[in-house]
Structure 1
Amino acid sequence: MVENYNIKEKGYHPFVIKEGWQLAKLNYTKEQHIDNITQLDVHLETDELFILIAGKAVLIAATIIDNEPHFEVEKLMLNIIYNIPKGVWHNIAMEEGSEIFIAEKSNTHISDFKHLALSNSKKEELHNLVNTQLKLSIVNER
């Protein structure tokens, strides 16, 4: 009667898909390292909840003004629920060994997403923002 899941493979894995909702796990991959973030995603039909359960990660959100993303970054704290409302561009920068649970509308990974490629200057801006956020938060933890 009790189902048990232990997702260890790298990457994004929806593992409980029920009527109307799904739970997924995102385990660190090289593509999620800040040096390799090349795009933002948006969902038009669902909010997306994130819970960091291991490691370090930064949630990236952006508004688009004059076709350019304007970033907001937030270091995720362990076991805190973070929500990205539908219609908000986002991504996650993670350090190796990080693990995140994601809750969202069912089948979001199949049909409810758009991507926005980042220019080289925006990738550099984002890289600097995330690295500053991680350094500041590491100093504050001491």
Structure 2
Amino acid sequence: MIIADYEFAGEGMQRVFENEKWTVGIKNWKPANDVTGMDCLERHNKTDELFVLTEGACTLIYANETEKGLEFGSVKMEPGKVFNIPATLWHNTITQKDTKMILIEDSNTSMENSDILMLDNDQIVAIRSLA
């Protein structure tokens, strides 16, 4: 038996470890997560998702559904802290080019039990003001 290690240096996210219970990914900057490129939110309907910032800067953007529409909020991540995105919470990450994060989620999380919400121009402006 040996100890394995994993890395990913490309743009975006890649799952680097997976078993029957959970998955670990490395998420790096990509144009769609830049403040000028973000145009959507996502949610995972059955599972929480965890993020740990290891390098750079990241703002977690989230939205709660209300009778008046989406209410946006943001959290600036701090390196070394674990941030939990609860199941069904609309969210996305705004990152800079030197950003690297660890992502941990249930191995059954997929697009089959997740949703993508495309944002309109007013929503994009609102999110950019939070970054």
Q: TM-score, normalization: structure 2?
A: 0.94
Q: Which amino acid aligns with 2:6?
A: Y
Q: 5 Å matches for 1:90-105? A: 90-105=91-106
Q: Which amino acid aligns with 1:46?
A: T
Q: Which amino acid aligns with 1:92?
A: T
Counterpart-to-counterpart distance in 1, 2:112 and 2:80: 28
Q: Greater share of strand residues, 1 or 2?
A: 2
Counterpart-to-counterpart distance in 1, 2:10 and 2:68: 36
What's the counterpart of residue 17 of structure 2? 16
What's the counterpart of residue 54 of structure 2? 53
Counterpart-to-counterpart distance in 2, 1:13 and 1:108: 14
* 110-119 vs 38-47, which moves further: 110-119
Deviations 1:51-89 (A, max 9, x none): 000000100111012473211101000010000110101
What's the counterpart of residue 35 of structure 2? 34
Counterpart-to-counterpart distance in 1, 2:80 and 2:108: 24
Counterpart-to-counterpart distance in 2, 1:68 and 1:25: 32
Q: Does 1:63 align with 2:74?
A: no
Question: Which residues of structure 2 form unaligned runs of 5+?
Answer: none
Counterpart-to-counterpart distance in 2, 1:109 and 1:14: 12
Q: How well do the aligned residues superpose, as a CA RMSD in angstroms?
A: 1.2
Counterpart-to-counterpart distance in 2, 1:7 and 1:109: 20
Q: Greater share of helix residues, 1 or 2?
A: 1
Q: Which amino acid aligns with 1:38?
A: D
Question: Which residues of structure 1 form unaligned runs of 5+?
Answer: 131-142
Q: In the alignment, is the contact (CA less than 8 A) between 1:17 and 1:107 conserved in 2?
A: no
Q: Which amino acid aligns with 1:69?
A: L
Counterpart-to-counterpart distance in 1, 2:123 and 2:15: 29
Aligned residues: 130
What's the counterpart of residue 43 of structure 1? 44
